[in-house]
Amino acid sequence: MSEEKYLTLADGRTLAYEDVGDPSSSLVVIFLHRVFELCRYPHMELITLLHPDTADLHIYISGGLYGSIPHTSYTKSMTWSNYMLVGLPARILPFQPLLRVGIFALSMKISTMDKAEREQWGIKGGDFEMRMATNMVKSISKLWAGFIEIADVVHSDWGFRPDQLDEDHTRGRPILIAASAQDDLGSDMANWLKENYKNSRLKWVHLSTLYEIDNLWAELLAMKDETTY
Name the more confident of 29 and 108: 29
In sequence order, the β-bridge partners of residue 7 are 15
Q: What is the DSSP letter of 86?
A: H
Say if CB 177 and CB 191 are below 8 A apart. no
> How far apart, in whole angstroms, are the C-alpha atoms of residue 172 and residue 225?
8
What is the Cα–Cα distance from 160 to 165, expressed in whole angstroms?
A: 9
Q: What is the CA radius of gyration of the chain?
A: 19
- Among candidate residues 40, 63, 94, the one with its CA nearest the CA of residue 189: 63
When comparing pLDDT for 127 and 102, which is higher? 102
Task: Compute the average pLDDT of residues 45-58.
Answer: 79
* Cβ atoms of 15 and 6 closer than 8 Å: yes
C-alpha 156/C-alpha 151 separation (Å) is 9
Q: Provide mean pLDDT across the span 208-226.
A: 84
The Cα 84–Cα 147 span in angstroms is 13
- Look at residue 54 in the predicted model and tell me its pLDDT: 67
The neighbour count for residue 182, using CB atoms within 10 Å, is 10
Q: Do β-strands 14-17 and 5-8 pair in parallel, antiparallel, or remain unpaired?
A: antiparallel
| CA distances to 172, 175, 179, 192, 227 from 223, in Å | 9, 8, 18, 20, 8
Compute the mean pLDDT over every residue in the chain, rounded to the nearest whole number: 76
